[in-house]
Amino acid sequence: MFPFIFPLTLNRKLASGSLFLRPPTASINGHSPQLASVMLSRSRCVYRPLGRCLSAVNQANNMLVRQSVSGLSVCSRLVYSQPCEFPSSVGVNVRHFRTSAVYRDELVTVKTPAFAESVTEGDVRWEKAVGDSVAEDEVVCEIETDKTSVQVPAPAAGVIEELLVPDGGKVEGGTPLFKLRKGAVAAKAAPSLAAEAPSAAAAAPPPPPPPASDPTAMPPVPPVPTQAVQTKPVSAVKPTAPAPAPAPSTAGSRTENRVKMNRMRLRIAQRLKEAQNTCAMLTTFNEVDMSNIQEMRKLYKDAFLKKHNIKLGFMSAFVKAAAYALTDQPAVNAVIDDTTKEIVYRDYVDISVAVATPKGLVVPVIRDVETMNFTDIEKAINALGEKARKNDLAVEDMDGGTFTISNGGVFGSMFGTPIINPPQSAILGMHGIFDRPVAINGKVEIRPMMYVALTYDHRLVDGREAVTFLRKIKAVVEDPRVLLLDM
């Protein structure tokens, strides 16, 4: 008598999300399945059907049954249904195995992403609530920092189980934000589909009535009621009163609405006040004739757009002119280190461009402008503007900066005095282009003119350097050939 053992080998490959099943192997007293088949087939007390059965098991041993597991419950059954006839003298133990992988909803805790070195904390603004279903990479909340907003997406599709931080609460890098039950969206969708099936069957329209066999037959007479029907006079019927409409606002009413300042607005107010309290700000003005730069743009804007797939604007001319003037007047590009009481001179030019967003003013930085041409500057401005519109600006995009340009002309500003963006030492203010009468070679002509303003820290920059700097910008914008001649 030979004892038979049918073990089941189950291999799970969790990384790839797959389940591998291998049929059981047969062994006789520790011998291999192949040897067992040969030994039993040659035995006098074993019939030929048993040999065929063991050969089938041996062949099945070399096969892999792979079932994909995609986050849902998977049940697999391994059954050997081939009948085998054994002699009475041989004892055979046959076992049937069933394997299953039951899906368990995984609960994950999403934490606050790491901030930049200059940012330590932020305020949470929730976009979703407890019980809301979210898709993968869908924004669940935003963290407003001093410089920008950081979006926190869902790592996977699921349902929000718990919010660990209240709306408006302060968080640091690595703080737990919310708990997400992964895969709950797909799990809840199955019952809803099953519930829709009976409702659809119940909502099926009834079959049309069969046509009357005798169209000339009279309809049946309705039965006469045995009791008198209670009636009411028309005057006793009261109409249903309509729902009361909301009371209109009183004309000339005086109301107030208080809104909490977000962190970015608070930081902007703090920095602007620090600039007023720290810097000895002084502003000098000049005007720029935009005739030549407008003519250049008119001639080459179509070819520029066709070749580089971006529009040619006026900002590239002012940014390049500012880089040229900063190289000529290094004091405007320098900064005072109040801690060590030293002046830090930079041999590079990183220009911050002020951009107005619904949440406040941001200043992304164009780096190494002194090495760029008009095309490179336009591409950099276009890329940063696209990030600002999509609220994708990172803290790294706004760190640094040695000089700032603010263009109030896009809003129609004619004249203004910008405020320094600390710790910088100066800022250039651009304004709108308006036709004005000017004296040209003793004659009055109408020219497109723009007022420009330079606000500088008089602790570091003297009046001579500031005026020379602004006149250098005026010369380059009015005639870009100055850049080619290095004048």
Residue in this structure with the two tokens 């003793």, named with its chain if needed: 442
Known catalytic membership, residue 308: no
In the sheet that holds 365-366, the strands lie side by side as 281-289, 443-457, 426-440, 403-407, 351-353, 365-366
Q: Of 31, 308, 376, 458, which is the active-site residue?
A: 458
List Cβ neighbours of 118 (8 Å cut-off, separation of 6 or more): 147, 395, 399
Closest CA relative to residue 130, chosen from 164, 175, 104? 164
d(CA 349, CA 322): 9
Which amino acid belongs to residue 481? R
Q: Is 468 exposed, middle or buried (0-12, 13-18, 19+ CB in 10 A)?
A: middle
Q: Of 338, 462, 479, 486, which is the active-site residue?
A: 462
**How many residues in the chain?**
487
Known catalytic membership, residue 458: yes
- Evaluate whether 393 touches 384 at the Cβ level (below 8 Å): yes
Helix and strand totals (H; E) in the chain: 9, 23
d(CA 417, CA 267): 21
Which amino acid belongs to residue 472? K
d(CA 372, CA 37): 80
- Evaluate whether 354 touches 384 at the Cβ level (below 8 Å): no
Active site (catalytic) residues: 458, 462
